[in-house]
Amino acid sequence: MNYLIDISYDGSKFHGWAKQLNAYTVQGEIEKILSKIYREKICIFGSGRTDMGVHALHQFFNFHEKKIHLNKLQLFNSLNGYFPKTIKVNKIFVVDKKFNARTSAKSKTYIYYINTSAFDLFKDNYLLNYNKEINIKKIKDASNLFMGKHNFLSFSKSTLENNVRIIKKISIWKSKSIVNIEISGTGFLRSMVRMIIGSLIDVNENKKGIKDIKNLLNNPSKGSSQSIVSPNGLYLKKVEYLI
């Protein structure tokens, strides 16, 4: 069986998604627990990586059963029974044997939370304590520049050759004191979402203007936008598949 697993996790407790030597990671913890359940080494394939401190409302991974077979309910109960409180299974799907959680993803959506009110100690790991006002109209106007197909190298730490991505939608709204920035696209480069939001914050503070963002998009150079927001306010909200 090839299982696709939808999970949530608290990224503040991990050194990111990707397995690393001598580091506590989401992928490493999941593979350790699956290997314990199945009594053999299990490797998983994630829909994408998240950096240290980034959270997930819906992250996906798939893996192939080998010798032991568990049905969806057995696997659901086993995983949630063994997982730490920082990881939770939302749903399990049976998918085609050729399905891969990363290459089969059609789009991803991230959301970022910014606190414009007083510093909130108890939510500091889960939002950006910006603690001052944001001009919503101003950053909305700037966000329109990122829409569509662009080379986003200036807004990333990418080491890839192809840095062209498509942003389908950017929504910005305020709920009480929290500014929400939601970005959907076909895929994202390393730190791309955080650097785009960092530039929107620069626009709010008059450190960047429309011309600056246009120039960065038209003249791609690795990380040249420079500004990047902290990871704690960022959540992988949704990954879309045709299953």
225 C-beta neighbours (distance < 10 Å), count: 23
- DSSP lists the bridge partners of residue 240 as 107
At 200, give phi and psi (nearest 5°). -65, -40
* Dihedral, CA of residue 16, residue 17, residue 19 and residue 25, to nearest 10: 60
CB of 143 closer than 8 Å to CB of 203 = no
Rounded Cα distance between 148 and 194, Å, is: 18
> Catalytic positions, please?
51
* Dihedral, CA of residue 193, residue 194, residue 198 and residue 199, to nearest 10: -30
